[in-house]
Amino acid sequence: MKTFYIETFGCQMNAHDSEKVVGTLLQEGYTQVDRPDQAELVLYNTCSIRDKAEQKVFSRLQQFKREAGKGKVFGVLGCVAQQEGERIFERAPHVSLVAGSASYTKLPDLLVQLEAGNRRVTGLSLDTNETFDTPYTRRDNPHRAYITIIEGCDKSCAYCVVPFTRGPERSRTSESVLREAASLAELGYTEIQLLGQNVNSYRDPSPAGWDFARLLDETGKTPGIRRVRFTTSHPRDFVKGIVEAIDGNSALCNHVHLPVQSGSTSVLSRMQRLYTRDDYMRRIEWMKNARRSIAITTDIIVGFPGETEQDFKETVRLAEEVEYDSMFIFKYSKRPNTPALEYEDHIPEEEKTRRLMILQELQRAIQIRRNAAYVGTIEEAHVEGYNTATGQWIGRTAQNKTLNFIDAELPGPAEGRTLTGTYADILVTRAGPNSLAGEHIASTMNNGPGRAV
């Protein structure tokens, strides 16, 4: 058994975890293949945030069921693994490996057990001494790298499985974060994304005792690093110092993802979100009053148990007031072990859909309006690739907006020449609800060692 396939669901933390798993497997002598039918070891790194995400993995597992036992071994990793544990063996008896995210350092051991023919291998302890050092991480993107700075979650939102699937909060020392940032810069990475379920709840466990704002600022000073992003921020722990850091350090991306969930204080209280609508709006004000223009994005849950029409209207009003740059809207989904399951007045599915659509339509109009304001301005894009179908280069602005563009001198990748990985100044000529488009006017400095432009 020496070939493996891995499919990843869920958030960026999971995407980064998969990079760690892939690195470890390659180190153990495995070869990665692109299709599950070609692999001897098939892994699903799973998400359990909503019911649909959880169902997806069980339907995937059905696909190749008949091949189990014929030399094919199946493993379930990530949040569904941690949540369901050994029950997975009952729901999908052909699965041999079940391991949660805190067990990936033990993966070599677990593989030895699998290779010895063991049919029920588990790694399910939520070991809080888990180290963040990832010597074998195989990163997917050669220009932008994730760094996990805090694992787990100590909040207890009434709808959410994450505290169960990822365990309690553990922060990593500032020294080890900065060391990883510096070594990534040496490898040619220019963009870093700091990750945590609540990234701004970060607390340096070493005597330096840095808070998140300090760590963010210092990461932004790493020589060679041009952009630092961070996600996800929790409103309760969002302090003014973060806005001040962004204002004072141009390497920090002027984009904050600050999930509000609801605009109604009474719903927020039943969600156990630990802030009121006013608390949240104060944080929005700090950002709107910043020197730099900060893009603000959010998550919203519609149809939380007991959400009245009045509550929903308050969410709509909040969305109108804030005018987010982008918004993820989710219908409340019942999750195992969470307090909201026991709440009364669950909202019918059609009503959740109606509320979702109202918000979506409003948000679309806001995005059209906001994005139109960029036409005629010059924005810096970090180039991510080339789209052969549209004949455009694909880039992303510091505010996390997609910016597609054409280049008169290099209409597409040719003879080893590419713009991917460089930073390009783009004159924005068009705008839609979800992206901007423009023309390349100049390449900026420092496009990284060895990159032909």
Q: Which of 165, 363, 397, 418 binds ligand F3S (CB under 6 A)?
A: 165
Q: Which of 4, 5, 6, 14 binds ligand F3S (CB under 6 A)?
A: 14
> Comparing C-alpha atoms, which of 99, 103, 102, 47 is closest to residue 73?
99
With 0-12 / 13-18 / 19 or more C-beta atoms within 10 angstroms meaning exposed / middle / buried, residue 265 is middle
Question: CB-wise, 14 or 261, nearer to ligand SAH?
Answer: 261
Tell me if 195 contacts ligand F3S by CB under 6 A: no
CA-based torsion, 430, 434, 439, 443: positive or negative? positive
With 0-12 / 13-18 / 19 or more C-beta atoms within 10 angstroms meaning exposed / middle / buried, residue 106 is middle
**Among ligand SAH, ligand F3S, ligand SF4, none, residue 79 binds (CB under 5-8 Å by kind):** ligand F3S
Site for ligand SAH (CB under 6 A): how many residues?
16
* CB count in 10 Å sphere of residue 187: 11
**Among ligand SAH, ligand SF4, ligand F3S, none, residue 10 binds (CB under 5-8 Å by kind):** ligand F3S
Contact positions with ligand SF4 (CB under 6 A) in 233-272: 234
Q: How far apart are CA 445 and CA 50, in angstroms?
A: 44
Tell me if 153 contacts ligand SF4 by CB under 6 A: yes
Contacts of residue 359, defined as CB under 8 A and 6 or more positions apart, other chains included, come to: 300, 302, 315, 316, 319, 327, 329
Applying CB under 6 A, the span of 37-45, 91-99, 210-218, 328-336 interacting with ligand SAH comes to 328-336
Tell me if 155 contacts ligand SF4 by CB under 6 A: yes
Question: CB-wise, 45 or 233, nearer to ligand SF4?
Answer: 233
> How many residues in total does the chain contain?
453
Q: How far is CA 352 from CA 11, 55, 309, 362, in A?
A: 23, 20, 11, 16
Q: What is the DSSP pairing of strand 227-231 with strand 191-195?
A: parallel
Contacts of residue 130, defined as CB under 8 A and 6 or more positions apart, other chains included, come to: 102, 105, 151, 170
Applying CB under 6 A, the span of 11-19, 180-188, 290-298, 315-323 interacting with ligand F3S comes to 11-19
Tell me if 171 contacts ligand SF4 by CB under 6 A: no
**Among ligand SAH, ligand F3S, ligand SF4, none, residue 165 binds (CB under 5-8 Å by kind):** ligand F3S
Task: For the CB of residue 326, give the shortest distance to ligand F3S in the complex, in Å.
Answer: 17
Applying CB under 6 A, the span of 158-166, 213-221, 355-363, 409-417 interacting with ligand SF4 comes to 158-166
The secondary structure of 222-233 as a DSSP string is STT--EEEEE--
Question: CB-wise, 53 or 406, nearer to ligand SAH?
Answer: 53
Question: CB-wise, 197 or 333, nearer to ligand SF4?
Answer: 197
At 193 the three-state DSSP class reads strand
Q: Which amino acid is at 417?
A: R
Q: How far apart are CA 425 and CA 5, in angstroms?
A: 38
Q: Which of 111, 162, 296, 318 binds ligand F3S (CB under 6 A)?
A: 162
Tell me if 162 contacts ligand SF4 by CB under 6 A: yes
H or E element, residue 295: strand 295-302
Tell me if 160 contacts ligand SF4 by CB under 6 A: yes
Tell me if 330 contacts ligand SAH by CB under 6 A: yes
Binding site for ligand SAH (CB under 6 A): 49-50, 159-160, 197-198, 232, 234, 259, 261, 299, 301, 330, 332-333, 335
Instruction: State the residues that interact with ligand F3S by CB under 6 A.
Output: 10-11, 13-14, 47-49, 78-79, 161-162, 165-166
